[in-house]
Structure 1
Amino acid sequence: METAMDAAGSATGTATAAAAKVALVGVHGFGTHHLRNLERLQSQGRVELVAVADPQPPAPGTVPPSAAVYPGLDDLLGATRDLDAIIVATPIQTHAPLALAALATDAELYLEKPPVASLADFARLRAAASASGHGVQVGFQSLGSHALKAIEGLLADGTIGTLEGISATGRWVRDRAYFKRSRWAGKRSINGVDVVDGVVTNPLAHAVATALRIAGARTTAELASVETELYRANDIESDDTSVVRIRTAAGLPITCALTICASDPAEPYVTLQGSAGTAVFHYTEDRLTVETTSGRTEETFGRDDLTENLLAHRATGVPLISSLVDSGAFMLVLEAVRTAPAPARIEPAHIRWEGDGDAAHPIVAGIEDALERAGRRHATFSELGLPWAVSTSTAFELPPS
């Protein structure tokens, strides 16, 4: 069986002889993932982490002694030349200004998801990227999975018949400490600056992005409609339990039913609903299960590393796996969430709390069944008649193409 580590780089092109010079902005939170990955690539002689930037200094031993440490990107760029790539793994509301600053250099850009916090910022960033001529990779790591190519194949050969719909289901658990980890967690905005944190746009954003990619919806022109129905069980501004219902320009329905208030957490998955069977993709595990009248098969795939792919793009021009332009459809979903009414509060009578103190987390009554039904029927929570679903869906007015 091919593993992710074995497969990384197999479709990213041939690495150049000289180690690529990389800078990392944001060394905490998801930045720690990038530090580990860069350590792996540096041990192979493929990259050199020359500098990092973060207002909070890195923990001792987490950054190579040879890497310079700066409090911000401006300081880093003022002292560092000839970078091949800049990785930005910072709070959502900082993505736009940092990405624009990075694109003013000669480096390629890796920008964590969601790329920016508004469609207007996305348009500005896309224009800057086009003018710079540099690649921008967005950190939807699941899009590097080799299972996506297998899914393309089974759709092309009719293994599950005609594709009739796609659902994305996510049921995770996040406790009170999760929302105390930073001042932007659980916020829709801070001092008038868009943040758009929430289950759809941040923790389970990969579910949305993966479903869109499977549907062939990449750019803003490839969606026909987006509806949102947003709820919160936690004492936060953003949504933690939501349904997003999408229809592609080709007429395919996509329904994303997501929560971080589950009683029985599981790895999220995307279901392809065919006329002759189903395929279920657990994207965090690169695992694909196919069921038809002929039986059931399951296979686990490798995946390409997005950092390696970005560097190969710079060196040889191979296509980006998760380009900024191809995140346009996702950005329409984010904009629909951003402009929707504030999430409706789920009444305490429909919530059970488990744990104590900061380890406590809410569980929405009947949420697992609700998620499954919403995805299977392409229905919102209110359409299912759930007792806590007091809101109605909000249709997003798509901008002109």
Structure 2
Amino acid sequence: MTGPRVAVAGVHGHGASHVRNVTRLAAAGRAELVGVADPRPGGDLPSFTSLEQLLQATEVDVVIISTPIQTHVPLAELAMRAGADVLLEKPPTASLAEFEQLSAVVAETGRACQVGFQAQASEATLKLAAMVADGQLGEIRGISATGKWVRTAKYFQRARWAGKRRLDGVDVVDGAVTNPLAHSTAAALLLDGSTGVDDVRSVETELYRANPIESDDTSTVRITTSRGTTILIAVTLCATEHLEPSLIVHGSEGDAVLRYASDRIGETKYARADLLENLLAHRADPAVPLYVPLAATGGFTRVVEAVRTAADPVEIPAESVRWEGEGLERRPIVLDVENWIDRASDELALFGELGAPWTGQSPRENS
């Protein structure tokens, strides 16, 4: 027994982890890795320079797509129209229009499209979502997400699309909120039970950058869901040190802190399901639900759309930035950014409302 035939499009960067995962399942006789597609293919696997060539050459049941953001929709559509189910890396699309286009292809073809928000397959995330829904934390004042990450010049030079809002006239919408720390927003929406495209009422953005890039690297975003919950995202790629992201549910009966990268609520660690295994189980029995079907990323895509249509990120003044390192290891540190992120999280407020020095705004009253 070899299991479903799986191909991987995009094998560098995060794509390499998908190749390892399929190889793991293949060793257990649960899948067969039949080829990879990448303009720079490598390794001993059957390799093709495009997904189109791969699909023409061999039969494929599942395609994993871990390619640049702006290629997600055409490649996912190509795979589904060829009869394959898809595991699509996040963010699934660069715009709401693309999301609607891809949703239509899913409906037309009847294929499964699972999106790579692996934190949503964590028992910790699902446990906390159930606690919120059951009222165990009392009345919810809001949900916040904090991300304090470090990224060097090497990160933004790894690919042509990195750090870009548009490339060759096509939307990319890279940035701290929509790509590296996208899990924070998606998981926060899941905790509120507001994952659908109609579950988001409004999105306010404040986008800043310390790096010489187009996209944001230090931002606050405030989401109001259709049920009236305030979700505040406060993130940076310009922190003093790299810390694990946190999600905080602020309840009248107490706060709960989720660290989704390590599957912890407080100090309790939970298990996490594998998204590819879940997709394969769904293929075998459609009664097994997907953890992250495309439709469950509609709320997140509303946030992507708000970032896409927002004004370009504002450059953070030099006096608020300290630079460290040389060459590819050079990176900016936004001064005291951790304190401002914590305040934004606690007060569910945007950086400008708090009067963070790089915003040029005065603190609002009672912020």
1:375 matched to 2:345: yes
1:305 matched to 2:283: no
Inter-partner Cα distance in structure 2 for 1:229 and 1:311: 40
- Paired position in structure 2 for 1:226: 203
1:284 matched to 2:254: no
Larger RCO of the pair (alpha carbons < 8 Å, separation 6+): 1
Inter-partner Cα distance in structure 2 for 1:192 and 1:70: 26
What percentage of residue pairs aligned between the two structures are identical? Answer: 50
Deviation at 1:151, TM superposition (A): 1.2
Inter-partner Cα distance in structure 2 for 1:95 and 1:229: 26
Consecutive unaligned residues in structure 2, runs of 5 or more: 363-367
Alignment counterpart, residue 340 of structure 1, candidates 272, 293, 310: 310
Letter in 1 for 2:349: A
- Paired position in structure 1 for 2:31: 47
Q: How does 1:121-200 map to 2 (within 5 A)?
A: 121-200=98-177
Inter-partner Cα distance in structure 2 for 1:153 and 1:251: 18
Q: How does 1:255-294 map to 2 (within 5 A)?
A: 255-289=232-266
Consecutive unaligned residues in structure 1, runs of 5 or more: 1-16, 290-297, 393-401
Deviation at 1:134, TM superposition (A): 0.8
- Paired position in structure 2 for 1:110: 87
Structure 1 residues 390, 191: CA separation in 2 closer, same or farther (over 3 Å shift)?
farther
SS at match of 2:223: strand
Inter-partner Cα distance in structure 1 for 2:302 and 2:255: 27
After the TM superposition, which of the residue ranges 150-159 and 321-330 deviates more from structure 2? 150-159
Deviation at 1:126, TM superposition (A): 0.3
Deviation at 1:148, TM superposition (A): 2.4
Inter-partner Cα distance in structure 1 for 2:14 and 2:32: 19
Deviation at 1:106, TM superposition (A): 1.4
Letter in 1 for 2:56: G
Task: Calculate the aligned-residue CA RMSD, in Å.
Answer: 1.3
Inter-partner Cα distance in structure 1 for 2:361 and 2:32: 51
Inter-partner Cα distance in structure 2 for 1:254 and 1:31: 31
Inter-partner Cα distance in structure 2 for 1:74 and 1:377: 49
- Paired position in structure 2 for 1:292: none
8 Å CA contact retained: 2:355, 2:361: no
Deviation at 1:276, TM superposition (A): 1.3
Inter-partner Cα distance in structure 1 for 2:77 and 2:339: 43
- Paired position in structure 1 for 2:51: 73
SS at match of 2:271: coil
- Paired position in structure 1 for 2:330: 360
- Paired position in structure 1 for 2:365: none
Alignment counterpart, residue 203 of structure 1, candidates 175, 180, 201: 180
8 Å CA contact retained: 1:169, 1:269: yes
Letter in 1 for 2:126: K
- Paired position in structure 2 for 1:314: 283
Deviation at 1:245, TM superposition (A): 0.1
- Paired position in structure 2 for 1:295: none
1:30 matched to 2:14: yes
8 Å CA contact retained: 1:245, 1:254: yes
Deviation at 1:310, TM superposition (A): 0.6
SS at match of 1:173: coil
Inter-partner Cα distance in structure 2 for 1:152 and 1:209: 12
TM-score, scaled relative to structure 1: 0.88
8 Å CA contact retained: 2:129, 2:193: no
Deviation at 1:18, TM superposition (A): 4.7
Inter-partner Cα distance in structure 2 for 1:226 and 1:25: 33
TM-score, scaled relative to structure 2: 0.96
Alignment counterpart, residue 349 of structure 1, candidates 300, 309, 319: 319
Inter-partner Cα distance in structure 2 for 1:126 and 1:152: 25
8 Å CA contact retained: 1:344, 1:390: no
Letter in 2 for 1:300: K
The C-alpha deviation readout for 1:346-379, integer Å capped at 9, x for no partner, is 0111100111221011110110010011111111
SS at match of 2:351: coil
1:331 matched to 2:301: yes
Inter-partner Cα distance in structure 2 for 1:261 and 1:316: 45
Deviation at 1:154, TM superposition (A): 2.7
Inter-partner Cα distance in structure 2 for 1:391 and 1:18: 61
Inter-partner Cα distance in structure 2 for 1:229 and 1:188: 15
| Pairs aligned (count) | 361
